[in-house]
Chains A and B, each alone.
Chain A
Amino acid sequence: MSSTDHPLGTPPDEAETLLTARRPAYLHFLVRDPFALASAIWLLLIVLFATLGPLLLGDAATDMNLRARNLPLGSIENSWLGILGYDPLGRSVLARCIVATQTTIGIAAAAALAALTIGTIVGLYAGYTGGRTGRVIMQLSDIVQSFPSLLLALFVLYMLEPQPLNIVLVLAFGQIPIYLRVARAEVLELRERLFVDAARVLGAKPRQILARHIGPLVLPVVINIVTIDFALIMLSESSLSFLGLGVQSPSITWGVLVAQGREYLQSAWWISFFPGLMIMLTTLSINLLANWLRRVRDPRERWRFDRARHTGRRR
């Protein structure tokens, strides 16, 4: 009797949980995972720093106070900004870390976006047309990928000026092959599908097929990659800045701040420690959150969260 009521043979409440489980309740899962929650909160803070930091603390980051030279952690007699100590010119390390967020995130985001756009478009084209052009494009991307990106960036920035635009382009250039490869692989699979044939038969031009029919399906895949890639680009940028070929003063990024503190390692370790910690925590948060998102989205992994919700029930 129950089988006629419920064709799937499952009781109504179970069927309901199955249906609701299909759309993950992100916030609910986020609160359950302490690492992911901490990462999300930290990244929110970073976004806040990047948008409001220079506005609120721009002056505090450049104000010199020679009486506060190299004061250690917890020097909060004058202001709470001294909690992470002062640099050799008496500037607050905390304020400088916060203000540097905007440039650091801005450069990495611009480079990631540029790589995503160029890589995806070229990858779509290479995958759809195939043939000799496609092969040449892949060969070129192989060359770029088989070469250490930092070395390439040093080589280029050595010849061009280390201006923000050049830095963004150089950082993006090394990452293009990743998107190109993924986009191409997706297109190779998608272009054999029926809906693409249908569009072709109806007279759509290749550009229309790519932009309207294939592109929207490739986009989520590359967006998945861009989160992790953003963290990678941020690391590269900080290495470049540390070596002196990143942004030039008076602009500051976290990498520049670490480099500035290097000379004072023996007397004032906090100057380079905290900017570096910002880099690590941000990269780590992005990776943790991306991992968490993958687990939540993947139905084969999601049961782990579900089991935590309905204790004792096994799937």
Chain B
Amino acid sequence: MQYYVVSRLAQSFISLIGLVILVFFMIRMTGNPADLYLPDDVSAAARQAFIELHRLDDPIILQFGRFIGDLVHLDLGTSIRQGRSAAVIVLEAYPTSLALAAISMSIALVLAILLGVWAAVRPTGVVDRTISVLSLAGASAPNFWVALTLISIFAVGLQLVPTSGIGGWDHWILPVAVLVLRPLGLLSQVVREAVIRSLSAPYIRTARSKGAPDRSILYVHALRNASLPILTMAGNQAVAFINGSVVIETIFGFPGVGKLIIDAIVQRDFAVVQAAVIITATVIFLLNIVIDLLYALLDPRIRHS
């Protein structure tokens, strides 16, 4: 168990370091940072001053050393738009995104388990086919389009909820509804498959013959064994959430990290983009650790190996 956790930790950590190196060199490969940081109409003297200030003429190995040195001191550079630490700006945006992700993911997970188990009770029945097609449709719809459609129906047409911005709880309804859709579609399929597979296992027959009620067979016996593939998919979807939040936060004007990244890209605020990428990678790194620990918790084969 300890060996498993430690080795997974080491692996994810190597991945994290790899990504940081990748980010550093990708920036350098695309040209002089002076061109990225400074506006196009800057004078040659100012440009030279900038290069000297940041010692961009140094050998790449020295620059890399400084980059890592700054990173160790948690210094991710300064935003040229706001003149503040880029790391602070990114960290300020994170709570909104995390709340959005946590709420959507919990709703998606609960609904997916209910729908998936319902569909698995009678495979290829009417309920199953309906849920299958609907969940596929949910996973197939482009989220920005769903968002725009919901806005034009519920915000513009019926005027039930605000179109965008942040404020009361009603601002959260549409973004959460859109973000739930894709994980719900994918997860309910996984739940269905996993429950169907575990329903044919001998231990289910045992449970049935000892007289366990149907509901507890489905939700306790079968679902428990189906929890590993569900966890895998939920983990993947949690990472994919960052993709979704970029689009959804932009449309709904949510001050989260997704909108921050897009704004920083449009404003060419390079330090913020870089900080957001590195901090996001760290968040994913932590998330992977949690998922690995959950694996070990759920699967005795991993725990005792």
A binds B: yes
Contacting residues, chain A, for B146 (C-beta < 8 A): 276
Q: Contacting B18 at CB < 8 Å: which of A143, A235, A258?
A: A143
Tell me if B30 and A160 are in contact (CB < 8 A): yes
Of A43-51, A149-157, A208-216, the one contacting chain B is A149-157
List residues 2-39 of chain B with CB under 8 A from any CB of chain A: 11-12, 14-15, 18-19, 22, 26-27, 30-31, 36
Stretch at the interface among B79-87, B88-96, B148-156, B170-178: B148-156
The answer to whether B144 and A239 touch across the interface, beta carbons within 8 angstroms, is yes
With contacts A139-B14, A160-B30 taken as known, whether A287 is within 8 angstroms of B142 at the C-beta atoms is no
The B144-190 residues at the A interface (CB cut-off 8 A) are 144-146, 148-149, 151-152, 156
In the complex, the answer to whether A158 meets B273 with C-beta atoms within 8 Å is yes
Residues of A within 8 A of B250 (CB): 243
Smallest CB-CB separation from B240: which chain A residue?
A: A148
Q: Judge if A26 is at the interface, Cβ distance under 8 Å.
A: no
Q: Which of the four size classes fits the interface of chain B?
A: 35 or more
**Which of A8-16, A67-75, A187-195, A266-274 contacts the other chain?**
A266-274
With known contacts A35-B133, A284-B137, A288-B133, A146–B277 Cβ distance under 8 A: no
Q: Does A101 contact B (CB under 8 A)?
A: no
- Asked whether any CB of chain B lies closer than 8 Å to the CB of A262, the reply is yes
CA distance A200 to B22 in the complex (A): 38
Q: A213-243: which residues lie under 8 A (CB-CB) from chain B? A: 231, 235-236, 238-239, 242-243
Q: Is A92 close to B, CB under 8 A?
A: no
From B18, B148, B242, give the contact of A262 (CB < 8 A): B148
Q: Is A255 positioned at the interface, with any CB of B under 8 Å from its CB?
A: yes
A207 lies within 8 A of chain B by Cβ:
no
> Known: A156-B26, A258-B145, A276-B149. Is A151-B277 also a contact (CB below 8 A)?
yes
In the bound complex, CA of A260 to CA of B239 (Å): 29
Contacts A139-B14, A280-B141 given: A150-B148 contact, CB under 8 Å?
A: no
Q: Are A154 and B145 in contact (CB under 8 A)?
A: no
Which one of B27, B142, B273 contacts A238 once the chains associate, using CB atoms below 8 Å?
B142
Q: Are the CB atoms of A143 and B22 closer together than 8 Å?
A: yes
Docked CA distance A269–B145 (Å): 11
Q: How far is the CA of A287 from the CA of B140 in the complex (A)?
A: 8
Known interface pairs A143-B15, A154-B265, A159-B27; A239-B22 also in contact (CB < 8 Å): no
Known contacts A231-B140, A280-B141; is-contact A151 B247 (Cβ 8 Å): no
Residue among B15, B19, B133 facing the most chain A CB atoms (10 A cut-off): B15
Residues A255 and B142 in contact in the complex (CB < 8 Å), given A159-B26, A243-B247, A243-B262? yes
Say how far A262's CB is from chain B's closest CB, in angstroms: 6
Residues of B within 8 A of A236 (CB): 243
Q: Looking at chain A, what size class is its interface with the partner chain?
A: 35 or more
Cα-based distance from A156 to B149 in the complex (angstroms):
30
Q: Does A304 contact B (CB under 8 A)?
A: yes
Residue among A35, A151, A265, A288 with the highest chain B CB neighbour number at 10 A: A151
Residues in A with CB closer than 8 Å to B145 are: 238, 258, 272-273, 275-277, 279-280
Using A148-B239, A148-B280 as known contacts, list a sample of 20 further A-B pairs with CB atoms less than 8 Å apart, ordered by residue number in A.
A35-B133, A139-B14, A139-B15, A140-B18, A146-B12, A146-B281, A147-B281, A148-B284, A151-B261, A236-B243, A238-B144, A243-B246, A245-B265, A258-B142, A266-B156, A275-B145, A276-B144, A276-B148, A279-B141, A287-B140
Can you report 29 residue pairs joining A to B where beta carbons are below 8 Å apart?
A139-B15, A139-B18, A146-B12, A148-B242, A148-B243, A151-B246, A151-B277, A151-B280, A154-B262, A239-B142, A239-B247, A242-B247, A243-B250, A243-B262, A258-B142, A258-B144, A266-B156, A269-B156, A273-B145, A273-B149, A273-B152, A276-B145, A276-B149, A277-B145, A280-B137, A280-B141, A284-B136, A284-B137, A287-B136
> A residues near B, CB below 8 A?
35, 139-140, 142-143, 146-151, 154-156, 158-160, 231, 235-236, 238-239, 242-243, 245, 255, 258, 261-262, 265-266, 269, 272-273, 275-277, 279-280, 283-284, 287-288, 291, 304
List of 9 A-B pairs having minimum Cβ-Cβ separation, nearest first: A276-B145, A283-B140, A150-B243, A159-B30, A148-B242, A284-B140, A143-B18, A269-B152, A280-B141
